[in-house]
Structure formats: structure tokens, C-alpha cells
A and B are shown apart, each in its own frame.
Chain A
Amino acid sequence: MKTFVQHFVHIHAQKVFIDGVLRYEETATALDFAAFIRNVYKYFEMQYPKFYKMDDLSKLAFVGAELLNVKESTLYKSEDKGIVLMNRSSSLYTDALHQASIADKSDYFPSPAVFVYTLPNIAIGELCIRHQISGENYFFVQSKFNAAMLTNYVALLFRQRHVQQCICGWVELNSNNFELFLYTVEQKSENAVKSAHKSPIFASLSLEGNHILNDTDNIEKLYKL
């Protein structure tokens, strides 16, 4: 069964790309993650007050998924939509905040609002609520982006009819940097990114009728864009 990449978003090095096109670039230098992601949220006029309560990993995933523009999709039933994410650092960034709150017995202040985010799949939970996704949801942790593991498993989910649309990708955040690469996959190719007229970066991808096939090589190349 063939599946296709519909849209893809990159957020890294203070830049936001949608379908390979630069859409936002932070001009202020040395901005921390929190300030950067707020600027992106405002720039794209996102409206979801709960955003401000999320931890940083969820904020990153949230903004990425908003830019994929999946929320209008009524083509699929909620239970046929899935999410498969991967990263390197799990929720360790928020884990460190929780750990700091319990390190000193004389200044002990563990907070439920922090603790609930000490699991990586909470970010998935946030996306499921936002986009009404109630199907298969997976969080894989690997020391680096593993395109083969991700692509092979997502392909299996389609073949076995567990999903008909899937948000996939890499959502990494640690104390030094952050990096997001999210994409949507569907079996139908009508909605997919038509790449021929786009920038030369698409030249190396394997295509079918100008649509990007969801295979390991393509995902590896898209990740590195």
C-alpha cells in the first residue's frame, strides 16, 4: 500500500518552514525557546489559550501541528486518525524542573502542573485534544532520528488499517536546543504536496505523479531539509 506525505513543517534554528518554504525567521538573536515559540504562536495568529499552560515540549508539538493545518480535516473519522512521534530526550527537560522542585527538602515544592508533563506522550495527548484524534498514538524514543523505524511502523499502521491519516515526526527539546519535523501521511494523494513546481530541494525525492511517497529515503531527506 502506498502512502503519501501531505504537508510537512520544520522548526529549528529560529526558523519555521512549511512544505519546505521559509515562513518565519526570528530576527532577535539568542532568544530562548519560550520567547521564540510565543513569537511563532503570535505571528501565525494561533488562538488556543491552553497553549500557555503547556510545557515546552508540548508547545513545540502544538505549534508544529497547527502549521500542518490538519484541524479542518473532516475527511476522516476521529478514530481513524493517529499520531506517531519520536524524539531523543523524552520529557527530560520538564523532568529536570520537577526534580529541582524536590531536590531541597527545606524548599520542597513539587507542582502537579509540572509533574503531569513528565511523560513525552503528554504532547500527543495535547494534539489529540486539539485536533480530535482518538486513534493510534505512539511515542518512540531513540538517540537520533530513526527514519526507518518511524516510516516502517507508520506504513504498518496504514496496511493494517489502524489509521487513515497520521501525524508523524520528530519533536525534540532539551536544555541546549530544539528541533521539530512534523508531517502528515495519508493514503489519498489528492491532498498531498505537489512538489514539481516547488523549490529544487524536491529534486532528490522519489515521487509519484508529483506527490511525495512516504518512504524511509524521502523522510530522511525531508528531515534534513
Chain B
Amino acid sequence: MKSAYIIAHHLISALGFTSKKNVEQLMANQSGIRLSDRYSKGLELPLALIDKTAFPFEYKKEYTYLENLMIHSMEESLHQATFDYKSERCLCIISTTKGNIDLLSNEKELDIPKERSGLGNMAEVIQKYFQFYHVPMVISNACISGSMSVITAQRMIQEDMYDHIIVCGGDIASEFVVAGFNCLKAMSHQACKPFDAHRNGISMGEAVATVLMSHEKMPSEKISFEILGGAISNDANHISGPSRTGEGLTLAIQKTFEMTALNASDIDYVSAHGTATLYNDEMESMAMYRTALDKVPVNSFKGYIGHTLGAAGVIEIVMGIECMRANMLIKSLGYEENGVEHPLHIIQENATKAQTHFLKLSSGFGGCNAALIIQKQEA
């Protein structure tokens, strides 16, 4: 069995246009969430939006907003590596929930056919741009898409199906999703407060995140990150409300422990899904309690970048490994007072801690859950 490593990455979010900028802002506890009525005329909502006035690249008119961001992020990632991404041994996985959803309403961008709102069409446009050998695999599994894409890539590299996999997760904020979450009464009216007693919903974010995964470590790097394994489960309980018992997520965590031959005492840090809805955070803390993770330092990055849907797993995995590289635990922004039945060890101030294993959790509509463990290795 081969190992799968993350060898390079690139992030675009409300915190900035590079991984470096994103990590700096995290370490400084700066949030990208601002009140805006851009997608909810007359109603100010906290959103974590990418700064469209500051693109560090030339915007290509024949591509959509999301495609421009994805192309830039993948190019910046590929510049950091030397493998032949046009080879048969390389696959691209695109993780997105809504893709070019703005095309459904945006009458201005008529240069771009509406068919591009089809995720498969978008993937083929990206394939053509990079001249990838294979048509990209598109994973659209609600808010676990990103974590799931990284797990999927790890499994395929493990079996030697590919040498390199480019995982690009992306979703944009839109009137479509903002109106939707708002009608579900799931949108917070202030910056989101994961796991806090006064949490009352999500802050919508947008992001594009790319990781390059490889069967071999980057020889020049002293520190490597290996994806040890992960699992996906379903609550089989409700399509839009998470299980009250945390059963599904518990199962994903237990399977991940089994697969990696690790347990809760080996985990140095957990990056929770932590959307700050009442139900998600309650369910997630229940699952962490049931798997003895309630004493392990945990945060949610949603207070920094909002909920970035199909990008969430990918960007939060990158943030997690960069915190692990720096041996830093980052404050869970928005948290003040415990608001769940089984209190967790929420990181309340930045701290240093030597870290080897990090656990990422994701849950989403449709009852889906994902868990994966990443190990830091020093040469």
C-alpha cells in the first residue's frame, strides 16, 4: 500500500489570496466576516467574502467567477511542484456543492452559456484549460464534499491508481444560498459563534482551496503531512437535521480510528465542522464525547472564513496542517461560553503545542459525515 501526502496547497478566502496570507490572518485571530447586504438586499448579514477588487491575477472573461478562482488556485499550486499534471497518472478532483450557481440568475454574463451551471460541464472546461488526461471527478456531497475528496484521493493513491491527485474545492457566496439558508432560519445575524451558548446560525463564506496530493514526499521539505485514513457515514435519520445522538459522525470517527490504528489519546488537535447552528454543534459535541475526544483541543475555523460549503473541508484541512506545522493551536473565534450538553475543550486563546496527529470532522445535509486523520512527519 502506498502513502498519500499533501505536498502543496493554495487558498483563496475572505482572509486573502494565498495560503500564507490566510495562515497569517488566522494566527493573528483576524476574521474575514463582515456585515453585508450584497446577497440579501436590505438585510445585512455576516458574510466572509473574497475581495473582488484585489484579484492578484488577470480575470479571464470566458470563464466564470468560480472557474477563474479555481484555475488561479490550481495554477499557483502546480507551480510549487514538478510532476507532469497532464499525465495519465494524475487526476483532478473538484469538490463543490453549487458550482457556477450564479449563472442561474446572472443575466450579465451572457458570454458564458447557462449549461456551465452543470458541474460536469464546468469540470470539462477546467480539464481543457489544464489539458488534464482524465475528466475531473466531481464530488458534490453537501458540506462534506471537501473532506470526502481528500479521503477519496488518499484511497486512490494508496491503491496506486494515480501518482498525483489535485483536489480543488470551491463554492461562492450567492443570493441562491444566502436566501436558502435564511429561509431555513439558519443564518446568524452576527458573526457566527461555534459551540457558544449564544450561537444562532452560520455565517456564509466563500473560498477556493487546492491541495496537491502525491505518493511521495516533497524531497526538499523537512516536514511532511500524510493522510492516514478517513471514513464516510450517513445518519440515515433526517435529510436536513443532524442526528441528535451523533450516531453517524461517531461511526465515521470510530471507523477512522480503526483504519489508522489510532485512538482519541493519539489525537493532538481536532478541527471541527462547527457551523454554529444549534443542531450541528450539539450533534458534533455529542459524537466527540462518545469517542472520548471531548478533552482534546478543538476549534472551528468558521469564525474566520464562514461556512465555505464544498470548499470547507479542503481549506480547513490546509489550515489544520499549517497550524500543526507551527505547533500552534488557534483560538476558536466567536466562542465565549459553553453551549452544548457535553462541553468540549474549545481553544480559547492561541497556544503552542507539539502536534503529530490532527483529526478533521465534517457533516452535511443529507445526513452525511466524514472524518480523517493527518499525521505530521519530520525528516
Q: Within the complex, which residue of B159, B180, B366 is in contact with A124, where a contact is CB–CB below 8 Å?
A: B366
A124-B366, A140-B139, A141-B138 known; A110-B179 Cβ under 8 A = yes
Contacts of B184 in A (CB 8 A): 112, 115-116
Contacts of B124 in A (CB 8 A): 143
Contact digits for A152-163, partner B, Cβ 8 Å, 1 yes 0 no: 110010011010
Contacts of A31 in B (CB 8 A): none
On whether the beta carbons of A128 and B97 are closer than 8 Å, the reply is no
A interface SS class: mixed
Contact digits for A64-106, partner B, Cβ 8 Å, 1 yes 0 no: 0000000000000011000100001110100110110011010
Contacts of A98 in B (CB 8 A): 176, 179-180
On whether the beta carbons of B156 and A156 are closer than 8 Å, the reply is yes
Cβ of B4 to closest chain A Cβ, rounded Å: 13
Cβ of B368 to closest chain A Cβ, rounded Å: 6
Complex: how many Å from CA A89 to CA B251? 31
Contacts of B235 in A (CB 8 A): 128, 134
Contact digits for B142-165, partner A, Cβ 8 Å, 1 yes 0 no: 100000100010011011010000
On whether the beta carbons of A134 and B176 are closer than 8 Å, the reply is no
Within 8 A of B (CB), among A121-138: 121-122, 124-126, 128-129, 132-138
Number of interface residues of A (CB under 8 A): 50
Within 8 A of B (CB), among A13-42: none
Contacts of B239 in A (CB 8 A): 116, 122, 125-126, 129
Contact digits for B207-244, partner A, Cβ 8 Å, 1 yes 0 no: 00000000000000000000000011111111110000
A96-B104, A102-B175, A103-B105 known; A134-B236 Cβ under 8 A = yes
Contact digits for B231-266, partner A, Cβ 8 Å, 1 yes 0 no: 111111111100000011001000100000000000
A206 at the B interface (CB under 8 A): no
On whether the beta carbons of B365 and A122 are closer than 8 Å, the reply is yes
A196 at the B interface (CB under 8 A): no
Q: Which residue of A lies closest to B239 (CB)?
A: A125
Q: Which residue of B lies closest to A118 (CB)?
A: B180
B338 at the A interface (CB under 8 A): no
Q: Which residue of B lies closest to A129 (CB)?
A: B236
A125-B365, A143-B118 known; A119-B236 Cβ under 8 A = no
Cβ of A114 to closest chain B Cβ, rounded Å: 9
Contacts of A89 in B (CB 8 A): 118
Contacts of B140 in A (CB 8 A): 90, 119-121, 139-141
B120 at the A interface (CB under 8 A): yes
Within 8 A of A (CB), among B316-372: 364-368
A95-B176, A112-B184 known; A121-B142 Cβ under 8 A = yes
A79-B233, A115-B184, A134-B236 known; A142-B135 Cβ under 8 A = yes
Q: Which residue of B lies closest to A120 (CB)?
A: B140
Cβ of A202 to closest chain B Cβ, rounded Å: 30
Contacts of A126 in B (CB 8 A): 239
On whether the beta carbons of B234 and A156 are closer than 8 Å, the reply is no
Q: Within the complex, which residue of A78, A129, A146 is in contact with B238, where a contact is CB–CB below 8 Å?
A: A129
Q: Which residue of A lies closest to B236 (CB)?
A: A128
On whether the beta carbons of A99 and B155 are closer than 8 Å, the reply is no
Complex: how many Å from CA A116 to CA B177? 11
A99-B104, A110-B180 known; A134-B148 Cβ under 8 A = no
Contact digits for B281-297, partner A, Cβ 8 Å, 1 yes 0 no: 00000000000000000
Q: Which residue of A lies closest to B148 (CB)?
A: A138
B54 at the A interface (CB under 8 A): no
Q: Within the complex, which residue of B120, B251, B365 is in contact with A141, where a contact is CB–CB below 8 Å?
A: B120
Ranked 10 nearest A-B pairs via Cβ: A143-B120, A125-B366, A115-B180, A141-B119, A110-B183, A121-B366, A128-B236, A128-B234, A125-B239, A116-B240
